[in-house]
Amino acid sequence: MSYVDCFVAPVPCENKDKYIEHAKVSAEVFKEYGALEIVENWGDDIPQGKITSLPKAVKAEQNETIVFSWVIWPSKEVRDSGWGAMMEDPRMSPENNPMPFDGKRLIYGGFTTLLKS
């Protein structure tokens, strides 16, 4: 069964084009190291919850929107190997591909796929 990494990040609205460029480089590297699919989504209907919500989870500021992304891998083994290689790849270094958002507020995790329809 496949494996999925997901990411939720607050991105300053004025950095949308920078984010797209960052994502394009990252997607190329992900695919080289075994990812099957990369999906990037720019939030446009993200409600502010009373108790919890995506904006609250990442402490989004007024001038930021939420980006929700995921990467599909063929297996956790391919993902683990790919992540290790990507962290050594110079294209993923902060100097060559800086994150256009506050990485300290990035939420991410890996998931085993239960159902795909």
Per the structure, the count of domains in the chain is 1
CATH number for the domain spanning 92: value is: 3.30.70.100
Mean pLDDT of the chain: 96
Residue 82: inside a domain, yes or no? yes
Does position 1 have pLDDT exceeding 90, yes or no?
no
Q: Which domain holds residue 17?
A: 3-45+54-106
Residue 67: inside a domain, yes or no? yes
Residue 111: inside a domain, yes or no? no
Tens of pLDDT, residue by residue over 50-75, are 999 999 999 999 999 999 999 999 99
Residue 117: inside a domain, yes or no? no
Tens of pLDDT, residue by residue over 20-53, are 999 999 999 999 999 999 999 999 999 999 999 9
Residue 39: inside a domain, yes or no? yes
Residue 115: inside a domain, yes or no? no
Helix (H) or strand (E) run with residue 28 in it: helix 16-32
Query: Which pTM does this prediction carry?
Result: 0.92
73 burial level (CB within 10 Å; 0-12, 13-18, 19+): buried
